[in-house]
Amino acid sequence: MVTVKCLLVIAAIKGWHLIELDVNNAFLHGKLKDEIYVSLSPGFGEKEDTRSKVDYSLFTRSQGSSFIALLVYVDDILIASNDTATVHPLKVFLDHQFKLKDLGSLKNFLGLEVARSSKGISLSQRKYTLEILSDTGYLGCKPVKTPMEQDVKLSRTDGVPLEDAKVYRRLVGRLLYLTITRLDITFDVHILSQFMDSPRQPHLHAAYQVLQYLKSAPGQGLFFLANSSLNLSAFTDFDWAGCQDTRRSLTGFCIFLGNSLVSWKSKNQAIVSRSPAEAEYRAMAITVCELVWLSSLLSGLQLPPTVVSLYCDSKFAIHIASNLVFHERTKHIEIDCHFVCDKIQYGFLQTFQVSSKNQLADCFTNALGLPLFSIMMSKLSLIEIHAPA
């Protein structure tokens, strides 16, 4: 889904044409009794076609000034190109091979509703959200302003176990797919997904509050500005020992391509961090891994590499990332230190000052149409930071 968002952002900025195709009879109704081996279509094996090394479902072709990108997910195909003349021969070839339905300009892809204007591209899951509210009986509920109370601490041992855990699991599973465009519920759904094995009454009550929050704005989503740069920037933060059961720290990051939000995550760290500085630095390392992957993906979409901006609120983490000085307090995170330091030395990563909190709020306002990014980054307290020389 990050690949889809990046492709839409580039198309919005560069004015590429977006076309959707659908394969007829992708699934046979009969049961297969023999082993089936599938090979790549010969048309994509030619030299002028390039398969992305970081996302095998992405194919690109460049011929002179013409560029075309083809993204495949099972039987759904998305084509982006700056030259419509090159798209028609490709559609004819694919139709000859697979029998396709040409759905025209992109309107809906994998349940994502796409609307385009001269200002940019809007991405939402309004229909999917209304279906969730209708199936759970919350279509007429009273909306609330926040998906989860800020002081709520859910645990595996609090409350009475649910008699039917399937109701909770199905609801959280559907909410997980909704986080593709609703990052304002990502943190809360991440918390709820930790109790899938043995859900309890407080967990279900918290999930229902998320539904009440969705009722307030079911069509909320992302907006990719057409007037924007194509530079990568990222914000990262952590919650030290935030998990009530394991005391693992929570990593959160948001990555922008220009002014458009394309990737975010809220996840527990793999190990227990012994200090806030360690937790912050591990959050930086996880964010840098995502930035490296995104940089490789964008290079295949004809975007030249640029220096990436990374923002965090820990002076200690910034210092050890920019200086090759290690001591006893940092030797247990030395591997992550070397990884981030290498990216800074090679010129891939650079840190900058944050002028004010309003700068971050403006970014989310442009990306989401929200007055402020509320829950996931509500505890983010950005301060003046600068990498030591």
- CATH code of residue 256: 3.30.420.10
Question: 46 and 15 in one domain?
Answer: yes
Question: Is it the case that residue 119 has pLDDT exceeding 60?
Answer: yes
How many other C-beta atoms are found inside a 10 Å radius of the C-beta of residue 182? Answer: 24
Q: Does 279 map to a domain?
A: yes
Cα dist. 31→17, 26, 34, 37, 74 in Å?
Answer: 39, 14, 9, 15, 18
CA pair distance 262, 254, nearest whole angstrom:
8
pLDDT band at 3 (very low <50, low <70, confident <90, very high): very high
Please compute the mean of the pLDDT values over residues 97-114 and round it to a whole number: 88
CATH number at residue 93: 3.30.310
Domain span at 166: 126-216
Which amino acid, one-letter code, is at 81? S
Whether residue 175 is found in the same domain as residue 266: no
Mean pLDDT of 1-9: 93
Rounded mean pLDDT, 382-387: 32
pLDDT of residue 305: 78
In a domain, 261, yes or no: yes
To which H or E segment does residue 101 belong?
A: strand 100-105
Those residues with Cβ within 8 angstroms of residue 189's Cβ, 6 or more apart along the chain or in another chain? 172, 175, 176, 178, 179, 210
Does 187 map to a domain?
Answer: yes
Tell me what pLDDT residue 223 has: 92
Centroid of chain to Cα 164: 31
Q: What is the pLDDT of residue 248?
A: 76
- Do residues 321 and 341 lie in contact, with contact meaning Cβ atoms separated by under 8 Å? yes
pLDDT at 253: 87
Residue 386: per-residue pLDDT: 32
Contact by Cβ (8 Å): 246, 156: no
- Which of these three, 176, 195, 216, is where a domain ends? 216
Collect all residues with Cβ–Cβ distance below 8 Å to 88 and sequence separation of at least 6: none
pLDDT at 330 over 80: no
My answer on whether 257 and 202 are in the same domain is no
Q: Which residue has the higher pLDDT, 77 or 370?
A: 77
Average pLDDT of the chain is 80
Q: How confident is the model at residue 131 (pLDDT cuts 50, 70, 90)?
A: very high
Residue that terminates a domain, selected from 90, 112, 134: 112
| Helix ranges restricted to H, the chain | 2-14, 84-98, 126-136, 165-178, 186-192, 201-216, 276-299, 315-322, 334-345, 357-368
Whether 221 is covered by a domain: the verdict is no
Q: Kindly state whether residue 119 falls inside one of the protein's structural domains.
A: no
Residue type, 156: R
Range picked from 41-55, 206-220, 270-284, 334-348 for highest mean pLDDT: 206-220
* Section 244-248 average pLDDT: 68
pLDDT above 80 (res 291): yes
The per-residue pLDDT for range 133-163, each reduced to its tens digit, is 999 999 989 999 999 887 777 888 888 989 8
Q: Dihedral sign, CA of 187, 5, 298, 97? A: positive
Same domain, 303 and 232: yes
pLDDT band, very low/low/confident/very high, at 301 (cuts 50, 70, 90): confident
Residue 49's pLDDT is what?
Answer: 56
Radius of gyration of the chain (CA): 23
Contact between 222 and 195 under an 8 Å Cβ cutoff? The reply is no
Q: Are residues 363 and 237 in the same domain?
A: yes
Residue 130 shares a structural domain with residue 65: no
Q: Does 191 fall in a domain?
A: yes
Q: Is the same domain home to 24 and 149?
A: no
Residue 376 lies inside a defined structural domain of this protein = no
d(CA 249, CA 123): 31
In this structure, the answer to whether residues 234 and 355 fall within a common structural domain is: yes
Q: How confident is the model at residue 385 (pLDDT cuts 50, 70, 90)?
A: very low
pLDDT at 373 over 70: no
pLDDT for residue 144: 92
Confidence of residue 247 (pLDDT cuts 50, 70, 90): confident
Residues 159, 290, single domain; the answer is no
pLDDT at 265 exceeding the cut of 90:
no
Residue 385 included in any domain? no
Q: Are residues 233 and 364 in the same domain?
A: yes
179/254 same-domain check: no
Q: Are residues 197 and 238 in the same domain?
A: no
Average pLDDT (353-366) is 52
Q: What is the pLDDT of residues 64-94, one digit of tens each?
A: 888 999 999 888 899 999 988 888 888 888 8
Beta strand ranges found along 193-259 (DSSP E): 221-225, 232-239, 250-257
- Residue 126 — pLDDT band, cuts 50, 70, 90? very high
Question: What Å distances lie between residue 254 and 42, 184, 201, 290, 315, CA to CA?
Answer: 39, 11, 31, 10, 19
The residue among 180 and 37 whose pLDDT is bigger is 180
How many folded domains does the chain comprise?
3
What is the pLDDT, as a whole number, of residue 42? Answer: 59
What would the mean pLDDT of 191-204 be, rounded to a whole number?
90
